[in-house]
Structure 1
Amino acid sequence: MRQLKKIGKWLLYLTCTLLLLLVILFIYLYNVSKIDPPQIADTSIMKQQRTDAGNGFYYLGNSWFRKSNSGLYELYLEGDSFERGVVNGKLTKELVQRQEDHFSEQINKMIPSNFYRHFLKYFIGWFNRNLPGQVKDEYKEEIYGVSLAASDKYNYIGTPYQRILNYHAAHDIGHALQSMALVGCTSFATWNGHSKDSAFIIGRNFDFYVGDKFAEDKIIAFIRPSDGYGYMTVTWGGFTGAVSGMNEKGLTVTINAAKTAMPSGSATPVSLVAREILQYASNISEAYKIAQSRHMFVSESFLVGSAADNKAVVIEKTPDSLDMYDPNQDYIVCANHFQSKSMVNSVANVQQMKESASPYRYRRVMELLAAAPQNTVQQTVDILRDYQGVGGADIGMGNEKAINQLIAHHSIVFEPKKRLVWISTSPWQVGKFICYDLSKVLGLSGMRTNHEVSDSSLNIAPDSLLFSRRFAEFNKFRHYRQEILDGGTAVPDSIVASNPQYYHSYVLAGNISMKNKEYAAAKKYYETALTMEIATMPEKEYIQKQLATCNERLR
């Protein structure tokens, strides 16, 4: 009995010690994750309020905000950093708050445990503890200004400034966690002999997916900063970085994720590097110098197009190195692997090319460009909408190996010399592409009448796929998939019938059959999946593992 009391007392001491260590750990994480906002000398802009001119049109000073007939939101901003941020937040307040709702909802789905979400909060706070030191003062001031419009209901995560600043690094964390299938972008450009009338054309799909609602409220922002060049970018509420954009000098930037190890700490978010290039570079050389000056914690490809240089290159950057891929020809393609001499044979890149869908998508773009030797804007859009595999193979709708994975936040086309840009409307890149003349919209300072600012004469019609039975069936498949993700179920044969050429249909059907202990049926589904075009090596290995489990259960 005495021995049991000693053991019990020892366990009690051990438990108390562990609890004390946990409390100390959380206090430490809380303290190091605190981020103070920048000091602002002139805060008078905070007292000003937007004017509601009716029909969803607002203005404040010379800046304005509206929702177009296309469903895209349009924002014009000017002024210094803090002013731009505050005005941005005041004009788009509802979208800033709604975007955080969508983001929080998706995080709750991905991480249903309340304990793990709270732990993640502290972990991200610790991970990003040095983030302010990696961000330009100008951008911290702008982000602080936007954060003043954020909701108080998420203050348990952090202050509005902490949250909005950290959200700018979420894109990078998504890149680092590529196994979550958050990213798989494709971009390309043609010029001189590979384009009709020697036009300079750039196209890209931004396949960053964190739920359907994330892409509902796209903002096309036109910004005239007090320093640097005027530019446009496709963005969302509360986000001041850039993932796709063009400036008034005809310089474009789009970003594509590359293979990266899990970073050990924060650095400059990729989107803020792209934003700096847009705002301060007029040619490829200047863009390269800016990329060189910033430390990033993930690996990224920046496809930079320059009207001044009349070509596009890919600036490839890792946390430790930088190189530039110039094809020395009149076209270029960029997926999610590196191509420059110093990086193409790196261990991470070789693994990426072996295990990911990137090389397959790259080959498909090259194949379609070869079939369009005199490329046009319409042909560029057609390529961005392509959902088939190499050789026109039917690989199922939604396959990551397709150029069009039917998950894109946006698809965009630039003609830098003409300062024209086309942006997709829902759903994904299947809807109409709306054309904007950057020079004209940047000239609309102080607009007071609510009218369309796009150039409707240059719009591109929706894809005929939108009205097809196959597209309707694909939407059924997405519904089944979401039901399963939400913890529900679906009839295996119905899933397969809705998207029969897609390997993942059979994986879902197999998983449901496994759950129902119908191992013979599950085995057939997995075996069929293995005969199809599987997107990545890890997914193939997962299916093989499931099949092996079936075989064991059937013995």
Structure 2
Amino acid sequence: MKPTEHIVNLDLPPRERWGFLVDYKTELDALLECYLSDFQGAGFEFDGIEAYKNEIISSDYIEEIEFISSISKFTPNEILIANLYYDLLKFYLGCTAFAFETNGTVLHARNLDWWTDNNLLSSQSKIFDYQRNGNTIFKTVGWVGFIGALSGTKPGKFSITLNAVSSKDSAEIAMPISFLLRDILDNATSFNEAKEILENEPIASDCLLLLSGTSTEELIVIERTPKRFATRLPENGIICVTNDYKLLENGESSESELQSTSCSRYDRASELLGHGLPVNSEGCFSILQDEKVMMGITVQQMVFNNHTGQVELIKTGALTTGNSE
């Protein structure tokens, strides 16, 4: 069985960081085809990808993408479009996340809900350990070919997870949120620095960001549109988020099917946490797997320990066999 966790060596030139992907060519092409087929199904065309790439995307990320293209059957621009999935097609994603302090640490837990055929996104989920000088700088949970971050942790500092939401605010020509999250995980040195960037940096699309640090005072949800933000604080030491704005006026945008379950998932997760905070990751997974919290399209379940940087991941397709990685 191929390993679930891989080191991304940031000391290497960008074209060499993802060299281990040569062992994943089949999985890489299957995943990229999965992403790109959703764009075709949505009738989406991105004629301005070349100009967008040159104006917005860093040279390091472009070089990483060019390497991935060199071992796949897809062009660099197609791989970039696949990496923009959230910003362009976020209505396909759900998600439930929560965080709290317990036993001297902060645990940050999340379900990632994303429709996929053949259990592909679940079975191919991996942990990426980004290192410099042999030391972990941050970790993300994702897939081969995806170089950004939807879920990540910086040991001893903070964790961030992204949930989908929609407003009627216009999209912006700005940094893709998944690339911004990777930048923050790499470069921000504190919870407060990450908070400042997440609140104020122009971004391409709406999102909800659960940011947790190392104490009860460092638990927030940042509600974002491309230009606006509102920051929600915890209640009774607990912060929870699903797929709807609690503070920002969203312009009465129509609900997606995933967003229509948002309030019930939020209420159920909050109820379970209110009965007593879990003391470990097993307790967090129990809440994530509750029948009123977990969706049929949940592909990943994860718990971050913000003090140690430990990441525990369950590929939900394995739940029926009792296996987790």
Structure 1 length-normalised TM: 0.52
* Residue 76 in structure 1 maps to residue 7 in structure 2: yes
Post-superposition offset of 1:351: 6.2
Partner of 1:314: 221
Q: 1:520 maps to what in 2?
A: none
1:268 shift after superposition: 1.6
Return closer, same or farther for 1:126/1:256 CA change in 2, 3 Å cut-off. Answer: same
Out of 9, 13, 20, which is 1:91 matched to?
20
2:97–2:210 contact (8 Å) kept in structure 1: yes
Residue 425 (1) aligns with residue 289 (2): no
Give the Cα separation in 1 of the matches to 2:254 and 2:173.
25
Q: What residue is the counterpart of 2:95 in the other structure?
A: 185
User: What SS does structure 2 have at the residue aligned with 1:130?
Assistant: helix
Residue 286 and residue 136 in structure 1: after superposition, are their counterparts in 2 closer, same or farther (change >3 A)?
Answer: farther
Consecutive unaligned residues of structure 2, counting only runs of 5 or more, are none
Is the 1:253–1:277 Cα contact (8 Å) retained in structure 2? Answer: no
Deviation at 1:316, TM superposition (A): 1.9
After TM superposition, the structure 1 = structure 2 runs for residues 116-265 of structure 1, keeping only pairs within 5 Å, are 120=44, 123-126=45-48, 129-151=51-73, 154=74, 160-175=75-90, 178=91, 182-191=92-101, 195=102, 197-211=103-117, 212-225=119-132, 230-261=137-168
> Secondary structure of 1:302's partner?
strand
Instruction: State the one-letter code of the partner of 1:183.
Output: L
1:356 Cα shift?
A: 1.7
SS at match of 2:110: strand
- How far 1:94 sits from its partner (Å)? 4.3
For residues 425 and 148 of structure 1, the distance between their equivalents in structure 2, rounded to whole angstroms, comes to 28
Q: Give yes or no for contact 2:202–2:226 (8 Å, CA) kept in 1.
A: yes
Residues 148-207 of structure 1, C-alpha deviations (whole Å, 9 max, x = no match): 3222xx4xxxxx2212222111122221xx2xxx2110000121xxx3x35421110011
Provide the rounded CA distance (Å) in 1 between the counterparts of 2:221 and 2:145. 28
1:420 alignment partner AA: Q
| 8 Å Cα contact 1:257/1:299 also seen in 2 | yes
Q: Which amino acid aligns with 1:371?
A: H
Distance 2:113 2:309 in 1: 24
Q: 1:131–1:87: structure 2 CA closer, same or farther, 3 Å change rule?
A: closer
| Aligned partner (choices 406, 411, 417) of residue 296 of structure 2 | 406
Q: More strand by proportion, 1 or 2?
A: 2
**Structure 2 partner of 1:378:** 282
1:233 Cα shift?
1.0
Distance 1:165 1:77, change over 3 A: same
The CA distance in 2 between the partners of 1:168 and 1:288, in whole Å, is 24
Map of 1:469-480 to 2, 5 A cutoff? none
**Residues 147 and 352 of structure 1: is their aligned pair in 2 closer, same or farther, counting only changes over 3 Å?**
closer
**Contact 1:251–1:304 (CA under 8 A) maintained in structure 2:** yes
Local SS of the residue matching 1:365: helix
Give the equivalent residue in structure 2 for 1:100.
29
Larger Rg belongs to: 1
Post-superposition CA distance 1:303-350 (Å, at most 9, x none): 11112776321122211212322226411101111234xx1x332479
CA distance in 1, matches of 2:34, 2:183: 30
The answer to whether 1:272 aligns with 2:179 is yes
Once residues 253 and 222 of structure 2 are traced to their aligned partners in structure 1, the CA distance between those partners, rounded to angstroms, is 15
Cα distance 1:422–1:229, how it changes in 2: closer, same or farther (>3 A)? closer
Out of 412-421 and 97-106, give the one that drifted further: 97-106
Quick one: structure 1 residues 375 and 146, their matched pair in 2 at CA, closer, same or farther if it must change by over 3 Å? same
Following superposition of structure 1 onto structure 2, how do residues 268-347 of structure 1 map, counting pairs within 5 Å?
Answer: 268-292=175-199, 294-307=201-214, 311-327=218-234, 329-340=236-247, 343=248, 345-347=249-251
Over 3 Å counting, the alpha-carbon distance change for 1:187 and 1:349 in structure 2 is farther
Q: What is the rounded CA distance, in whole Å, between the counterparts of 1:264 and 1:252 in structure 2?
A: 26
Q: Does 1:363 align with 2:263?
A: no
Distance 1:137 1:323 in 2: 32
- Sort the Cα spacing of 1:105 and 1:184 in 2 relative to 1 into closer, same or farther, 3 A: closer
Q: Shift in Å at residue 255 of structure 1? A: 0.5
User: What do residues 510-538 of structure 1 show as CA deviations (whole Å, max 9, x unaligned)?
Assistant: xxxxxxxxxxxxxxxxxxxxxxxxxxxxx
Q: Secondary structure at the match of 1:337?
A: coil
Question: 8 Å contact 1:128–1:266 — kept in the other structure?
Answer: no
**1:493-504 matched pairs, under 5 angstroms:** none
| Contact 1:277/1:287 (8 A) holds in 2 | yes
What is the SS of the residue equivalent to 1:357?
Answer: helix
Are the aligned partners of 1:414 and 1:422 in contact in 2 as well (CA < 8 Å)? yes
Rounded to whole Å, the distance in 1 between the matches of 2:236 and 2:255 is: 27
- Assess if the C-alpha contact under 8 Å between 1:189 and 1:312 holds in 2: yes
| Alignment partners' CA distance in 2, 1:96 and 1:266 | 32
Following TM superposition, by how much is the alpha carbon of 1:136 offset from its aligned partner in structure 2, in angstroms? 2.8
Tell me the number of residue pairs that the alignment of Structure 1 and Structure 2 aligns: 322
Q: State the one-letter code of the partner of 1:302.
A: L
CA distance in 1, matches of 2:304, 2:55: 34
Q: Percent identity?
A: 21
Contact kept? 1:127, 1:264, Cα under 8 Å: no
Call closer, same or farther: CA 1:377–1:301 in 2, change over 3 Å: same
Question: Distance in 1 between the 2:32 and 2:122 partners?
Answer: 11
Residue 305 (structure 2) pairs with residue 415 (structure 1): yes
Q: CA deviation at 1:417?
A: 1.6
